[in-house]
Structure 1
């Protein structure tokens, strides 16, 4: 695919906000210090009046940045070195306009061996070119923009829009809300609900008083660095598996076969199924202790609940531990019971305790999620995002996914484009393990 960057501009808020500092919460600061990426794939507009107008998109982005000042700001290190905050200083976000010789069909090839019996679009190394790379900018973390966007025009008239937002700024749900608001401004000039920007609601108590054991976090002796080994990592890959409503209902029936009174949710049954078969494919030593961790949106779990339009990080972690033998050999309801118990434990008091636990450490950057070992599995669900309702004026997306391809140890539950009760499951693994997963007839398709 030939790829040409036509332009790269910095879009500043219009109108500008009054400069101010937003103090990041403990929950913001323990997020991985990288950018979360969304890709939206669109067919060519069918009507001339609905054609893609980059200038209109930029003007709408300027207005969106005015409503969401942190996205146009810059990180600022705290004087004690223990954390960062956001200076809302109107410095702006990056907007790249690009052209590619590939067609939408080239980027969304379907029907490969990853989805036996079903055609579904698959991740491609080409997807990385569709989103800006913040690491390509030779700037420090306090100088670098927090939001990168890219509009790529394809041969045949298709369009791809990429949005990358720093994880310190927001979680996935808030990023989804930002993109939806940007689309509203582009389409009709108004935002249906302005963001809730006061992060004081996520402050730790004074003094901090953690009341639970928080096995979902690990405290390091020094701030973890990046991958510094000179050893080349093993080849990694990712595949998308389509689970329709009937597949998830079948898994729920299996998990609930012993007790239908206290039924498991679709996520609990699906997460158990994935953990079981990914562990099997990895060939982990049966006696090895392994963890499964997943993100839980805390907005509705606080008392009183946080506004749904809270713009920041409200993800807390569920975490369960077992040994590989039990995860693989025991029926689905065993893991589902553990997942349900860990999820139900995330109450207002538990989340307040988590914020206090982080506060009680010398530096929030010393903490990471505890389920990041090579035998562990991390999971997050984006199925409730309004990804397929995003409309900038040229129609809704035909496909949505992150711009990633070669990764391992992460599962993302993506929304299904046509089946509201289904999900597209993006799984990243070592290539050798993915080959084993693809030959596991009990994993997929569900029978």
Structure 2
């Protein structure tokens, strides 16, 4: 695959869209990973022209001005650096040659770099194939917005391309108001943020690294039929499909890794706070509003305990991250603000290596509307995946758009463990 960049454009914060301002990052923004995340949408021909897509993107950004901001360690600054648009052509392959989408390092050619600091918090690359198909790749900084917010933005871009009205996002950060006085009911040091005295210890704990060529990305597809069968085996009817599938996959990954019986295995599972806070925060809220749950157990108990028990461990950990916990984090942020504390190290950023084993980091991109992105003109969304990921121990659930429904899971493992996972990923032992 050969990708040739044709031109670049910067879409700036529109004149008259508000005075110059600095918007403080919320405590949830500062908890988010300090990384750029890239996703790829594949569309069959016919699709709108680049000019039409860029015009639609510009219109969508009127509703999402933070995606044109400049990011500082503590603030979003408007007007900012604008959103970067790269127009490229792909030679040597047709879109059909890379469908259905499967993770490959070639994905890295289809979007702007994600490593290192980026001048633009949103970068779009429009990749045109000889057949007329398109891969639209987007790279966005996680401290601007979470998955639900970005799903709303991509849907808005599609609506703008079709000439449909855009439901306005919610930028009112008063929904994240601290109590007076603030009351931190839980300890958030070394759970969400690394305390000063433990930074070195955290770094030592997560310094395990291997040659990146040993890490591979596995795509697993679970049909609706498989999920229904898996769920039917659960006697505990409180368990969700997500918890059940994650419990199943946690066990299989642990077995594939060959962890020793007494080793503790833990997952960092993202939890959306919008409907957990009291009062609930509207789903239209744009920004970051997620924390982690931390299900953990010994490898032997996990593998031998069955899928239902694994799912119950996940369920119980998620249950604890309730409205009280989210409000405690809001109040924690207010205490730090009053102390003038500007430098914070989220637990994500303490990892200096590229191997998480025996741990996992789990994200769910389900129910965020990614599968509904539609640019019109008759072209269909026929592929959706994150880019190639160079870290071991990541699990991302995402909607399957290839037809037939179900759930896809991208899992990153060492090559030898990935080979074993492929053999057992659908085993219902």
What SS does the corresponding residue of 1:255 show, helix, strand or coil? Answer: coil
2:422 is aligned to 438
8 Å Cα contact 1:216/1:369 also seen in 2: no
What is aligned with 1:323?
298
Counterpart pick for 1:103 among 81, 88, 94: 94
In the superposition, relative to structure 1, how do residues 290 and 370 fare at CA in structure 2: closer, same or farther (>3 Å)? Answer: farther
Q: Per-residue CA shift, 1:406-446, capped at 9, x if unaligned?
A: 43111111102266862011111111211121233xx3265
**Retained in 1: the 8 A contact 2:247–2:310?**
yes
**27-36 vs 8-17, greater mean Cα deviation:** 8-17
1:44 is aligned to 45
* Partner-residue secondary structure (3-state), 1:173: helix
Relative to the length of structure 1, the TM-score reads 0.85
Does the CA-based 8 Å contact 2:268-2:295 persist in structure 1?
yes
SS across alignment from 1:123: coil
Question: Would the aligned equivalents of 2:3 and 2:110 in 1 still touch at CA under 8 Å?
Answer: no
Q: Which residue of 259, 273, 298 maps to 2:248?
A: 273
| Distance apart, 1:90 and its partner CA | 4.8
1:251-275 C-alpha deviation (Å, 9 max, x unpaired): 212232xx4xx43110111010010
**For residue 131 of structure 1, what is the aligned residue in structure 2?**
111
Of the three residues 423, 428, 440, the one matched with 2:412 is 428
The answer to whether structure 1 residue 308 and structure 2 residue 296 are counterparts is no
CA distance in 1, matches of 2:212, 2:126: 32
- Where does residue 369 of structure 2 map in the other structure? 386
Q: How far apart are 1:385 and its partner, in Å? A: 2.3
Shift of residue 205, structure 1, vs aligned partner: 3.8
Bigger fraction of residues in helix = 2
Change (3 A) 1:135 1:292: closer
1:48 paired residue number: none
Which of 215, 225, 229 is 1:250 aligned to?
A: 229
Asked whether the equivalents of residues 34 and 349 of structure 2 are also in contact (C-alpha less than 8 Å), the reply is no
Matched position secondary structure for 2:185: coil
**Corresponding residue for 1:338?**
313
* Cα distance, 1:265–1:378 mapped onto 2, change above 3 Å: same
* Structure 1 match to 2:28: 27
Matched, 1:295 2:270: yes
The partner residue of 2:129 within 154, 171, 176 is: 154
Contact 1:286 1:325 in 2 (8 A): yes
Q: Is the 8 A contact 1:319 1:371 kept in 2?
A: no
Take 1:330 and 1:316, find their aligned partners in 2: how far apart are those partners? 27
Classify the secondary structure of the residue corresponding to 2:165: coil
Measured after TM superposition, the shift of residue 53 of structure 1 is 1.4
Cα displacement (A) at 1:230: 9.3
Q: Distance in 2 between matches of 1:270 and 1:126?
A: 29
1:364 shift after superposition: 5.9
Partner of 1:408: 392
Cα distance, 1:359–1:339 mapped onto 2, change above 3 Å? farther
Distance 2:312 2:269 in 1: 15
Seen in structure 2, the aligned counterparts of structure 1 residues 352 and 369 have a Cα distance that, compared at 3 Å, is farther
**Structure 1 moving runs of 4+ over 6 Å:** 223-231
CA distance in 1, matches of 2:21, 2:329: 27
Q: Is the aligned partner of 1:61 residue 2:57?
A: yes
Whether 2:360 is the aligned partner of 1:377: answer yes
Residues 46-75 of structure 1, C-alpha deviation per residue, up to 9 Å, x if partnerless?
xxxxx4311121122222222111101101
| Shift in Å, 1:220 | 4.3
Number of residue pairs aligned between Structure 1 and Structure 2 = 413
Q: Which runs of 5 or more structure 2 residues have no equivalent in the other structure?
A: none
Secondary structure of the 1:99 match is strand
Counterpart position of 1:117:
none
Deviations 1:347-381 (A, max 9, x none): 22111113334555655622315997431011111
Question: What's the offset of the Cα at 1:126?
Answer: 1.1
Name the CA shift for 1:419/1:154 in 2 (closer, same or farther; >3 Å): closer
Secondary structure at the counterpart of residue 347 of structure 2: strand
**Cα 1:242–1:229 shift into 2, 3 Å:** closer
Q: CA deviation at 1:16?
A: 4.5
Question: How far did 1:247 drift?
Answer: 0.9
SS in 2 for 1:67: coil
Give the alignment's Cα RMSD to 1 decimal: 2.7
| Other-structure match for 1:86 | 76
Does the 8 A contact of 1:13 with 1:64 survive in 2? no
State the 1:212 CA deviation: 2.8
CA contact 1:61–1:182 (8 Å) conserved in 2: yes
